[in-house]
Amino acid sequence: MKNFIYVLIMGVVFVTIAGCVQISPQPEKFEIVTIPGSGDSQDLLRELARSYRAQYPDRDVVIPDSVSTDGGIKAVGTAASLIARVARLPNSKERAQYGEFKYLQFARVPVVFVVSPDAGVSDLSEQQICDIFSGRIINWKEVGGHHLPIAVQSRPDSGSNMLEIRKKIACFADLQITPRADYNFRNAHLVESMKISSGAIGFMPLSEVKLNDFTTVTLDGVAPVRSNYKLGIGLGFVYKKPFSSSIQAFVDYLKIDPAREIMRQMGNIPDWRNASSSHREAHLKTLSK
């Protein structure tokens, strides 16, 4: 009987002690976040990912080489990726093919015209831009520059930069690019063309200009850093499902001051907006009226 009482008491003591012991939870394991898509935010997000990894060594974000906004939308639409970087909203054709998307914008960046240093110009009017890209003006001396042939660098019509220029510069809306232009499929290709081409002119996000120390021109006397500069695109993400904890952690990091300062240093303006793709598109159409 005494042995039974002893065993019973010891059992109660053991259960009581076990109940008081706090088992430390396992630290959350962060998965590698891969964000395919647009070249317009590629270098910016790579710099932000480097800063993020420096602060959180146990986390990793991979920004692959550009597959364009089109490719990013396709990756999310086909469930090949949970998130993609974009420089425009999914259009009606993409929504019809893949369904609705959610959209989160984190920054805006001016779209600027860049020229080779040997062009000898610092300002161009909208009409001069149109005359150059159409091939009506073929030498820089015709717009006050050096006696040097103009090497027009073009981009796809579906690209966000081209869409913004066609939308905001009236004479560019239906302009046919000169057949003498060099075609650059991706932003990275244009960057390389501008580095090696004499007398070149092209257009790209201001962030690429700062990163590569290119020469910009003002547009009708207005610099890209001015509030009344008319050309700019939103940089954001598309997705369908709620963010995983790993994706959400990186998105949250983009909102804090060190990340916002990186954006500013690279020529971007932190600008957070979110909506479904169709609601956001309708809202933008309303604002433009």
Q: Say what the pLDDT of residue 28 is.
A: 64
SS3 sequence, the chain? CHHHHHHHHHHHHHHHHHHHCCCCCCCCCCCCEECCECCCCHHHHHHHHHHHHHHCCCCCEECCCCCHHHHHHHHHHCCCCCEEEECCCCCHHHHHHHCCCEEEEEEEEEEEEEECHHHCCCEECHHHHHHHHHCCCCEHHHHCCCCCECEEEECCCCCHHHHHHHHHCHHHCCCCCCCCCEECCCHHHHHHHHHHCCCEEEEEEHHHHHHHCCEECEECCECCCCCCCCCEEEEEEEECCCCCHHHHHHHHHCCCHHHHHHHHHCCCEEEEEEEEHHHHHHHHHHHHC
Tens digits of residue pLDDT in 189-241: 999 999 999 999 999 999 999 999 999 999 999 999 998 999 999 999 999 99
Q: What is the chain's mean pLDDT, rounded?
A: 89
Q: pLDDT tier at 276 (50, 70, 90 boundaries)? A: low
Tens digits of residue pLDDT in 125-156: 999 999 999 999 999 999 999 999 999 999 99
Q: Say what the pLDDT of residue 275 is.
A: 60
Top CATH class, 33-109+231-288: alpha beta
* Domain boundaries defined on the chain: 33-109+231-288, 110-219
Please tell me if the domain spanning 33-109+231-288 has the same topology as the one spanning 110-219. Answer: yes
- Domain at 110-219: CATH architecture: 3-Layer(aba) Sandwich (3.40)
Tens digits of residue pLDDT in 43-96: 999 999 999 999 999 999 999 999 999 999 999 999 999 999 999 999 999 999
